[in-house]
């Protein structure tokens, strides 16, 4: 059975802000960013344990084309997205999110 996703509210905000930034650079770039996030989420749904742990319960999925990573935790019935984090800014700022 496929797990569902849930997003921390701040992770959703980060996703929107990054997409807006890339869309301002070029509408096609914004679309490409969102498609890459969708691709990564599809992989997580299929193989949720495939990404490395960054803490006891949090894993990271690095995006291919963009300098972002998806930080997430696994629960019995969902994949909880904790952050859509830029890889070069404020490491571990997301700690404490649920």
Rounded average pLDDT over 8-23: 96
Query: What's phi and psi for 69, nearest 5 deg?
Result: -135, 150
**What is the rounded distance in angstroms from the CA atom of residue 87 to the CA atom of residue 78?**
24
Task: Render pLDDT for 43-60 as a digit per residue (tens, 0 to 9).
Answer: 999 999 999 999 999 999
Share of the chain above pLDDT 90, in %: 81
Residues in the chain: 98
List helix spans (H) across the chain.
Answer: 9-25, 27-46
Does domain 4-86 fall under CATH 3.40.50.620? My reply is no
| Whole-prediction pTM | 0.90
- Residues with Cβ within 8 Å of residue 3, at least 6 apart in sequence: 45, 48, 74, 77, 78, 79
d(CA 12, CA 77): 20
The two tokens of residue 9 are 């509210």
């Amino acid at each position: 059975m496929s797990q569902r996703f849930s997003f921390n509210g701040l992770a959703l905000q980060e996703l929107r802000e990054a997409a807006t930034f890339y869309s301002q650079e070029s509408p096609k770039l914004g679309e490409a960013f969102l498609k890459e996030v969708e691709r990564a989420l599809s992989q997580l749904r299929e193989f949720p344990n495939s990404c490395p742990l960054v803490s006891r319960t949090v894993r990271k999925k690095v995006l291919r084309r963009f300098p972002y990573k998806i930080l997430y935790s696994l629960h019995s019935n969902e994949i909880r997205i904790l952050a859509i984090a830029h890889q070069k800014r404020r490491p571990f700022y997301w700690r404490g999110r649920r």
